């Protein structure tokens, strides 16, 4: 059995019609690959179209501000991807005449492009003989070969790259890589793979040994950190008090509300007795407090508590990264999804309540 040929035949018959598969333009492929990292196709597709429409070339992308990129990225998560893309776009625009490279050895030097992305771009755009290994390919290879080495261990990463290189179709590397990834995404799925219609199941080690659900093996190394963010909503006339976040934490360089972080849940009344509260506000009255909202990140769980304060601006000890912004400006600022959703709900509800009074 020619394993690669069988999977490519399946791919040609069953592949999804995705826009980045109809081009060899390295910039477009790069855009799609980075957007789809840690992101489902269904979620990433609208972002891909929006970015490509607004920034049709890498030079156009390079001309954007960080705020513009992060605002367009809002809701997609892993915001460092957007910042790295902007850095890379500017580097290409300045040093490579706006021509996006297609060679693996050039791509791997760019910020935010690792072995997987460099192999994907080079093979899809220029048919370079480089085997792509992503989560879907790990799963397909682990089941096919019956490989029990953990995919997230150093030894496992080396092993699966060797296996991927071994099965790579050197005459059609781009199509082979696309087929492997699509096969893992659509048929050899993590849960409930459709082995009944699999064209290569008879030679699949996991299928023959009844280990489909136990492969691939992955080490459990992620430690989840729980954080409690007590946000303060302070508005004055048609303005709202915002905070620009630092580069040293989640949501780097984005905008949220002034907050006090506590190690555990802290009741609203107790917050007013904290030294930080007294340092920020000379005098403030609690108007209302929201239910806790949970936001799940890869290594963190954020529990956000929103407290609406009535406070005179003169009674606020403004911090270096705090500023008042017009409500209309919120549409232009990059906000973490949990902040954007809360403000949208809060001000919409406030508007509805006002309308009901008249």
Q: For residue 183, is pLDDT > 90?
A: yes
Measured in residues, the chain has a length of 358
Q: What is the pTM of this model?
A: 0.84
Whether 219 maps to a domain, the answer reads no
Q: State which residues form the domain around 329.
A: 225-357
Instruction: Quickly state the pLDDT bin for 206 (edges 50, 70, 90).
Output: very high
Indicate the pairing of strand 225-233 with strand 300-310.
Answer: parallel
**What is the number of other CB atoms lying within 10 angstroms of the CB of residue 347?**
15
**CATH number of the domain encompassing residue 270:** 3.90.79.10
> Looking at residue 357, what is its pLDDT?
34
Q: Active site includes 33?
A: yes
The predicted-structure confidence for 108-142, as pLDDT tens digits, reads as follows 999 999 999 999 999 999 999 999 999 999 999 99
Q: Which of 188, 214, 240 is the last residue of a domain?
A: 214
Instruction: Quickly state the pLDDT bin for 354 (edges 50, 70, 90).
Output: very low
> Looking at residue 1, what is its pLDDT?
61
Q: Which of 33, 66, 148, 202 is catalytic?
A: 33
The predicted-structure confidence for 93-102, as pLDDT tens digits, reads as follows 999 889 999 9
- Tell me: do 291 and 348 sit in the same domain: yes
Q: How many domains does the chain have?
A: 2
Q: Which range among 244-248, 278-282, 328-332, 346-350 shows the weakest confidence by mean pLDDT?
A: 346-350
> 3-state secondary structure string, 4-57?
HHHHHHHHHHHCCCCHHHHCCCHHHHHHHHHHCCCCCHHHHHHHHHHHHHHCCC
- Tell me: do 210 and 306 sit in the same domain: no
The predicted-structure confidence for 239-279, as pLDDT tens digits, reads as follows 999 999 998 899 999 999 999 999 999 999 899 999 999 99
């Amino acid at each position: 059995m020619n394993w690669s040929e069988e999977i490519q035949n399946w791919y040609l018959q069953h592949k999804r019609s995705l826009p980045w598969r109809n081009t060899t333009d390295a910039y477009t492929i790069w855009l799609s690959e980075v957007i789809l990292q840690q992101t489902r196709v269904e979620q990433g597709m609208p972002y891909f179209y929006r970015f490509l429409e607004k920034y049709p070339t890498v030079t156009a992308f390079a001309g954007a501000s960080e705020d513009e990129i992060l605002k367009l990225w809002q809701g997609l998560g892993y915001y460092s991807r957007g910042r790295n893309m902007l850095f890379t776009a500017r580097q290409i625009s300045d040093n490579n005449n706006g021509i996006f490279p297609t060679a693996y050895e050039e791509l791997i030097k760019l910020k935010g492009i690792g072995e997987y992305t460099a192999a994907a771009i080079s093979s899809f755009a220029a048919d370079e003989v480089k085997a792509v290994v992503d989560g879907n390919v790990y799963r397909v290879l682990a089941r096919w070969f019956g490989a029990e080495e953990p995919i997230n261990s150093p030894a496992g990463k080396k092993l699966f790259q060797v296996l991927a290189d071994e099965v790579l179709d050197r005459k059609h590397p781009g199509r082979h890589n696309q087929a492997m990834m699509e096969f893992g995404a659509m048929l050899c799925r993590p849960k409930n793979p459709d082995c009944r219609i699999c064209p290569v199941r008879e030679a699949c080690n996991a299928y023959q040994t009844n280990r489909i659900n136990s492969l691939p093996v992955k080490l459990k190394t992620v430690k989840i950190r729980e954080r409690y963010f007590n946000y303060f909503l302070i508005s004055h006339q048609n303005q709202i008090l915002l905070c620009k976040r630092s580069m040293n934490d989640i949501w780097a360089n984005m905008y949220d509300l002034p907050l006090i972080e506590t190690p555990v849940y802290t009741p609203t009344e107790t917050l007013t007795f904290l030294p930080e509260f007294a340092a920020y506000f000379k005098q403030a009255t609690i108007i209302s407090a929201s239910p806790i909202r949970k936001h799940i990140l890869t290594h963190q769980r954020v529990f956000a508590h929103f407290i609406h304060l009535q406070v005179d601006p003169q009674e606020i000890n403004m911090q270096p990264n705090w500023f008042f912004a017009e409500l209309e400006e919120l549409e232009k600022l990059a906000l973490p999804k949990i902040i954007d959703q809360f403000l949208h709900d809060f001000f919409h509800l406030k508007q509805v309540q006002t309308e009901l009074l008249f």
